[in-house]
Chain A
């Protein structure tokens, strides 16, 4: 019983006083960040990165994971009570959650979200626990050519899931790749794109970009379009939190379906928790026997997306830990953290840092349980956080972002660069360019370039290395298919239109 033994080790690490404290701090911060609109999980983790220089990496990653899945719980509160999603992952919850609140079932909506999230979270950890080591074992066979093909496929998948306009996704991906090339060339040591500025020789640090593009840009966005909702004032007694039997029957399979969808979407690069909750809601609506109930306070419409975003936030750890490839901005920031602590996630992580991996997995059980308790008994204090004046919050985001950017290299130039990225992020959001591809391209770009160079060195400059190795060939084919998807979609649409015109 290797698994049970590992889990036992994990719990013995996660249950030390220090780590439980970090886990609690993580879920608490996650919950608060989830409630506050305009600041999300990637920003919060990026802003906290400089604080983890001195603490033990295991404790730090336990805290960060707590923030990630805590956010998925916290955003629900504002979605249900004031119809303002605290996070993009809880946008779908607004639709039915707020309607339920209007009908006096706010308590039921919140508790089904908490229970669903807990079931989804715990279930996903069990799958993650068996699946991630297997994935890591499989990935041990990967060479540089496989990793290059894998990143290529990830870029391709970004265009599939990137949104309505694939061209914009491709543009931002290329922008990210360009930013990734800034700095000294790894192989030849020549400076690239530094425009004679010595501070750019080290490259653009990922944390600087995150602080700007998610932190400061969000400040501008929320000033321009303040999200204001009316707080539903309901006295919530403990009794209101219990679900009726009928509500439970309606939501139990929604929770299971949501969890499964969330788990798979969470592992795909560019999938992430937002897409997961979105897809889960749509699926639930399509396969429901009473689709007309959706949008009018259907409890399934709260249970499915809430379970999905939570299980996606957990399954996102599988590619990060086993392959070293992040699928969402949040896991990308965690990867930056791992590099800062001098740990390289990837197939070997399960051997070299087994304590970290299993401590993290065990802490997820604890964190999810803490969140379940918090979300049932501590809702009023979290609602009170919303009364914080936005100008103060805004000021603090700018402070954290500038100190975070500064502390990476102790360099004031980075602070200016952070502000520049903030303005860029604001303009991108305004012009409806997706931000996620830019962020992932910057992180994956370096990995991709390194493995490309290594693979070519191995093969003596011949490209055949990517096509003769079976695993790498599969990834390459998948990547090409992914790039072609928008074209195929467009062609199909065109075909339908022509047919319709003829008829």
Chain B
């Protein structure tokens, strides 16, 4: 009911900005990464996600992207999985 009042008062505003598309791309990347989590497991899946955003959104060189992916995956596996004892779901590889 309250939102009806607001809808009536709402001015037509331009909500799409030039960079909104990039935001949507990031959202799509996150969804793909989450969908692939059962395949790769948390550590590798999220590592790949960081690498992918760097490559696609940030336009970094592919060497640094791959390096970040590997380092992130290893860091997540050991910091969260072993040191903090969070039972992260593993993927097909067993990590």
Report which A residues bind B (CB closer than 8 A): 50-51, 53-54, 165, 167-168, 170-171, 174, 216, 219-220, 223-226, 389-392, 394-396, 398-399, 402-403, 406-407, 410, 412, 415-416, 419, 423, 426, 430-431
Contact = CB atoms under 8 A, between A and B. Distances in A.
Contacts of A392: 50, 54, 58, 68
Contacts of A174: 2
Nearest to A423: B27
Interface in B52-94: 53-54, 57-58, 60, 68, 72, 76, 80, 84-89
B34 A415 contact: yes
Could you tell me the dominant secondary structure of chain B's interface residues?
Answer: helix
Contacts of A50: 84, 86
Given A225-B17, A391-B58, A392-B68, A398 B49 contact: yes
A224 B49 CA distance: 19
A398 B84 contact: no
A391 B57 contact: yes
A437 to B, nearest CB: 13
Given A395-B53, A419-B30, A54 B85 contact: yes
A211 to B, nearest CB: 13
Interface of B: 2-3, 5-6, 15, 17, 19-20, 22-23, 26-27, 30-31, 34, 37-38, 42, 46, 49-50, 53-54, 57-58, 60, 68, 72, 76, 80, 84-89
A167 B2 contact: yes
Nearest to A416: B34
A391 B37 contact: no
Given A389-B60, A398-B49, 20 more contacts: A53-B85, A168-B6, A171-B6, A223-B19, A224-B20, A226-B19, A390-B58, A391-B53, A392-B50, A394-B53, A398-B30, A399-B46, A403-B42, A403-B80, A407-B86, A412-B37, A412-B89, A419-B31, A423-B27, A430-B15
Q: Interface on chain A toward B: helix, strand, loop, or mixed SS?
A: helix
Contacts of A394: 26, 53
A224 B22 CA distance: 7
A394 B84 CA distance: 23
Contacts of A419: 30-31, 34
A54 B34 CA distance: 27
A220 B84 contact: no
Nearest to A398: B30
Contacts of A219: 26
Nearest to B24: A220
5 contacts: A54-B84, A171-B2, A224-B22, A392-B58, A402-B46
B30 to A, nearest CB: 6
Contacts of B57: 223, 391
B60 to A, nearest CB: 7
A50 B42 CA distance: 16
Contacts of B68: 392, 395
Contacts of A54: 84-85
A392 B50 CA distance: 7
A220 B60 contact: no
Nearest to B5: A167
B34 A399 contact: no
Given A391-B57, A392-B68, A406 B88 contact: yes
A349 to B, nearest CB: 27
Contacts of B80: 403, 407
A390 B38 CA distance: 27
The residue among A174, A396, A403 with the most chain B CB atoms within 10 A of its own CB is A403
Contacts of A226: 19
Given A51-B84, A223-B26, A224-B22, A396 B3 contact: no
Contacts of A423: 27
Nearest to B3: A171
Given A395-B49, A403-B80, A403-B86, A225 B30 contact: no
B72 A395 contact: yes
A398 B32 CA distance: 13
Nearest to A222: B23
Contact of B58 (A224, A225, A389): A389
A491 B26 CA distance: 46
Contacts of A391: 53-54, 57-58, 60
A391 B72 CA distance: 14
Minimum-distance CB pairs A-B, first 7: A391-B58, A395-B50, A407-B86, A220-B23, A223-B23, A399-B46, A224-B19
Given A220-B23, A220-B27, A399 B84 contact: no
A407 B58 CA distance: 29
B2 A170 contact: yes
A361 to B, nearest CB: 28
Contacts of B23: 220, 223-224, 426
A337 to B, nearest CB: 15
A267 to B, nearest CB: 29
Interface-central residue, B3, B26, B76, by most chain A CB under 10 Å: B26
A124 to B, nearest CB: 34
A396 to B, nearest CB: 7
Nearest to B22: A223
